[in-house]
Structures are given as C-alpha cells and as structure tokens.
Amino acid sequence: MSWVWGGTSAVLVSAVGFTWIVSAVGERADVLVLARDVPAGKVLTAKDLRTVQVAADSGVIPVERRGEALGKQARVPLVAGSLLSPGMVGHSAAFPPKGRSQVTLALEAAAAPSNLARGDRVAILPGPDDATPADHKDEEATEELPSAVVGTVAGTRTPKAAGGVREVRVLVATAAARRATQIAHPRLVVLPASSREAP
C-alpha cells in the first residue's frame, strides 16, 4: 500500500549532515540541538530539544532565544543531533520542495536493505509478485508494469514486529510519483554511494 503527498513551492533546506563537530577552542555558548528526529510540519516542543556548547559564532539558535523554536513547525525533516538554525523552523513546512513529492511505501522485510538510511539514493522497482504471468494470452488486457522510479530516502519507520512491514518515505520527482504508487509490491535497491544525497 502506498500514499503520496504533493510537493510544495518552498525550497528545501536540508537538515541531513548538519551535525557539527566543534573544536574545544574559542568562546563558546549554549545552543539548541535536536534531541530526536522531527518530521517536517511537526510543532517543536521542549522534549524535541536539548542543549550543547559550541563556538559562539556558529549561527544557530542560542538557549536564551529558544522561544524562536518552541511552538514553531519544522520546515524540513530534522535529524537528532543537528544544531538548530533559524531556517529550520517557521510557521509552515517547506517540504517536499517544488517539483518533488514524498511517497510512503509499505515494504516487506526482504524488499529493502536492513541498513537503509535517510539520504540513500534508491530505485523503486516492481517486486516478483508484480510480474505478468508468462502464459498470459490476452495481450490487450495485459497492463504494462510501471518502470523503476529513482528517489532519495527521506525517512524510515521500524516495523512493529520482527519481520513485519516497514514504512519507508522516498522523495521522487512529482511527475514520477504516480508511477511509484502503481507498484503493488515495491522493492528498493540502493544505488552507488557516489549518488547519495540529502533529502
């Protein structure tokens, strides 16, 4: 089963890879950092944030200005451990970016690598159960299978039970979103690491 959300006109500001490793020299200040992953559109609460000390000129939200973040929506998917900058929060989400849509796929355990992670570039392919029977004689009634759709993993959700269905959110071109949702039994293949990108 698949669901799809349409893209928005806002520009995506990626939170992936934003975690900083700050040296121990120079003046430091208490700033806000994400205590856990926060999906785009979620209103931030105190439980979503914690405090760390970083260089004073780091350009992120200091503790004394936490009011700029609390009660605001995450504009993009935020990753635990990321320093919180003003551009990450606002009055509305800016995700998915223009021309992109987020497709949520329900995948069987064997349909995707167990170590699938946000930012992985993947191809969404029909599974074995989607194949047309070889002895199908009615060519006019045979529907062409959807071709592969390339996208970027925007997030995953662990199955509730071992071996259960896993939810994976993938950013794809809006023009290809319908094609992705037409695959009844999708499987994901991770593309080479050189094509990895942040959603």
The whole-number pLDDT of residue 67 equals 92
Classify residue 71 by burial, with Cβ atoms within 10 Å: 0-12, 13-18, 19+.
exposed
Question: From CA 13, how far away is CA 76, in angstroms rounded?
Answer: 7
Q: Two tokens at 122?
A: 């993947």
Given a cut of 50, whether residue 125 has pLDDT beyond it is yes
The whole-number pLDDT of residue 96 equals 78
The whole-number pLDDT of residue 147 equals 75
pLDDT tens for 91-100 read 887 777 788 8
pLDDT tens for 149-177 read 999 888 888 777 776 788 898 989 999 99
Q: Supply the mean pLDDT for the chain.
A: 75
pLDDT tens for 32-66 read 999 998 888 889 999 999 999 887 666 889 999 99
pLDDT tens for 177-189 read 999 988 888 999 9
The whole-number pLDDT of residue 58 equals 66
| Most confidently modeled range among 4-8, 17-21, 24-28, 193-197 | 24-28
Question: From CA 61, how far away is CA 127, in angstroms rounded?
Answer: 45
The whole-number pLDDT of residue 98 equals 82
Torsion sign over Cα 179, 180, 182, 186: positive
Cis peptide before 96 (omega within 30 of 0): yes
Chain centre to alpha carbon of residue 147: 22
